[in-house]
A and B are shown apart, each in its own frame.
Chain A
Amino acid sequence: LTPASAASSSPPAAPPRLRVLLVEDNPGDATLIREALQDVKDREIELLWTDRVAGALAVLGRGAVDVVLLDRSLPDAKDLDGLTRISESAPDTAIVFFTAHANEAVAMRALQAGAQDYLIKGTADAPLILRSILYAIERKRSEVGERNRLKEMNRFKSELLNRVVHELNNPLSILSLQTHLLQTGAYGSLQPDQDRAMGRIERATKALAALVQELLEVARIQGGWIRLQVRTADLCELTRHAVDAHRDLAIRSGLELEENIPTHAELRMDDVRIEQVLNNLLSNAIKFSRPQGRILVRLEALPDQFTVRVTDSGFGLTPEQSERLFRPFVRVHENEPDAPPGNGLGLYICKGIIEAHGGRIWCESPGPGQGATFGFALPRSAPS
């Protein structure tokens, strides 16, 4: 006999013992459930009992529990509070929620808050409790499986993006360096039309390199591995610098560019990335303005944060467009005839950078054709 057939000829193993944690402060109710579970014949059950959420969290912290039977009202938790705390600290453990009366609304809220099933006190006998326990465990198992599958898919996507972008680095370096060598006469002097062609190759290579850098930043944001190079810097100086850098382009586009920036706003931040955000908001304001428009950049120092707002008199946005704007690859104006080109990554990256600083970014617009304000707030306290 082979070991495999030997195994198949032995009697089926008994189902594993169930570890059940009962969280119930009423000793009478606890006894009723204990007695009901003693009546369960076809499964071995180990019942642990505590009368508080704090006690449940301690037990869950020590080891594996298959299911928690949770009362709605406890000395240290009211309504769904205990449910929320337990499902947050033990996200892989199934929970059956007990309500005192047949209250569908409470039961539904409990299921939405993380319970896998519910029972009404006083109506549950041994077979019903066992059925509910087994159902809750199975449902939790499939929830965890789905959660892990999504996590794995997300990780794979970020890793793929990261790899592809890094593989692009070598050929891009070669392209830009060889273009530079050709343009600077390393292989002899170029005819005027050859020189123009090299100029086109150079611009295309730069655009490609910029896109690769943006995709790399997207991969960092999505993978959650964006790491800030934080130091103390002056946000006013940074903002004035960005405004000055865009002045020529604004004038050439027939726009007024005004600023209202105080003298001094020191805080801990990744100044290179914050400058990137400022440049992005300013170049968007110029791109999405029409001639004779006006752009105003304001910096405000509040007790706990600094805010920067860039207001333009350009395309404007519907509420629905404002809401979608910060998602990756979204270009809300792409169907409008005079919309400038773009890849829809800029604002997504800005959002990632600002949120990594513990700040927030937003946009407001009175409506299409009426301009928009893009703002961000950075907390004065240092990001971790």
Chain B
Amino acid sequence: MSTHRLRLLLLDDDEDLVETVALVLRRAPDLDLDVVPATTVEHALRLLHASRFDVVISDYRVSGRSGLEVLAAAARDHPNARRLLLTGYAPDGLPPEARPGGTVHAILAKDDLLRNLAARLRKILGLEGSP
């Protein structure tokens, strides 16, 4: 079992949303996460280049750019990182490359954040059932 804290990169162009979700994640009782927020694609790419991440969560649309760009960079630089797309769109409204399979491991719906975020992360990180 790894001993380091899991590092999570969180990207959304809405700073209030990023800080709010970061706080929710930091407070999740059984998720010992080091949450690093970013609000621009450039900043997220620099962070990915500079250090290791275990989880990358990105909004689909980030100030006119695609969050898929960041998830693709994560797939290249940190192939073991779990990559999640955060979106206000239903999965059926997304283009094929945004659907779970290749670059994207799973989709998080924004209207589902409160109910599902911690539970989804637990499942995705394989922490389900651990005390």
Q: Which of B17, B24, B92 contacts A170 (CB 8 A)?
A: B17
Chain B residues near A7 (CB-CB < 8 A): none
Chain A residues near B1 (CB-CB < 8 A): none
Knowing A169-B111, A170-B17, A174-B16, the reply to whether A181 touches B89 (Cβ < 8 A) is no
| Per-residue A-contact encoding for B77-92, CB less than 8 Å = 1, 0 else | 0000000000011101
Q: Which of A223-280 contact B (CB under 8 A)?
A: 225, 227, 229
Instruction: Say yes or no: is B125 at the interface (Cβ < 8 Å to chain A).
Output: no
Knowing A170-B14, A186-B27, the reply to whether A177 touches B113 (Cβ < 8 A) is yes
Chain A residues near B14 (CB-CB < 8 A): 170, 174
Instruction: Say yes or no: is A172 at the interface (Cβ < 8 Å to chain B).
Output: yes
Chain A residues near B20 (CB-CB < 8 A): 173-174, 177-178, 181
The count of residues in chain B whose C-beta lies closer than 8 Å to any C-beta of chain A is 18
Knowing A186-B27, A213-B111, the reply to whether A173 touches B92 (Cβ < 8 A) is no
Nearest CB on A from B45, distance (A): 22
Nearest CB on B from A280, distance (A): 18
Q: Is the CB of B111 within 8 A of A229?
A: no
The docked-state distance in angstroms from the alpha carbon of A364 to that of B90 is: 34
Q: Is the CB of A181 within 8 A of B16?
A: no
Q: Which residue of A lies closest to B113 (CB)?
A: A173
Nearest CB on B from A282, distance (A): 22
Q: Is the CB of B113 within 8 A of A209?
A: no
Instruction: Say yes or no: is B48 at the interface (Cβ < 8 Å to chain A).
Output: no
| Per-residue B-contact encoding for A153-172, CB less than 8 Å = 1, 0 else | 00000000000001001101
Chain A residues near B23 (CB-CB < 8 A): 181, 186
Instruction: Say yes or no: is A222 at the interface (Cβ < 8 Å to chain B).
Output: no
Chain A residues near B12 (CB-CB < 8 A): 170
Instruction: Say yes or no: is B50 at the interface (Cβ < 8 Å to chain A).
Output: no
Q: Is the CB of A181 within 8 A of B111?
A: no
Chain A residues near B76 (CB-CB < 8 A): none
Instruction: Say yes or no: is A86 at the interface (Cβ < 8 Å to chain B).
Output: no
Instruction: Say yes or no: is A176 at the interface (Cβ < 8 Å to chain B).
Output: yes
Knowing A174-B20, A181-B24, the reply to whether A169 touches B88 (Cβ < 8 A) is yes
A: which residues have CB within 8 A of B? 166, 169-170, 172-174, 176-178, 180-181, 184, 186, 209, 212-213, 216, 220, 225, 227, 229
Q: A173-B113, A180-B114 are in contact. List 13 more A-B contacts (CB 8 A).
A: A169-B110, A169-B111, A172-B111, A173-B17, A173-B20, A173-B110, A174-B16, A177-B20, A178-B20, A181-B24, A184-B27, A209-B111, A225-B92
B: which residues have CB within 8 A of A? 12, 14, 16-17, 20-21, 23-24, 27, 88-90, 92-93, 110-111, 113-114
Could you name 23 residue pairs across A and B whose Cβ atoms are closer than 8 Å?
A166-B88, A166-B89, A169-B88, A169-B110, A170-B16, A170-B88, A170-B110, A173-B20, A173-B21, A173-B110, A173-B113, A174-B16, A174-B20, A176-B114, A177-B113, A177-B114, A180-B114, A181-B23, A181-B24, A209-B111, A225-B92, A225-B93, A227-B92
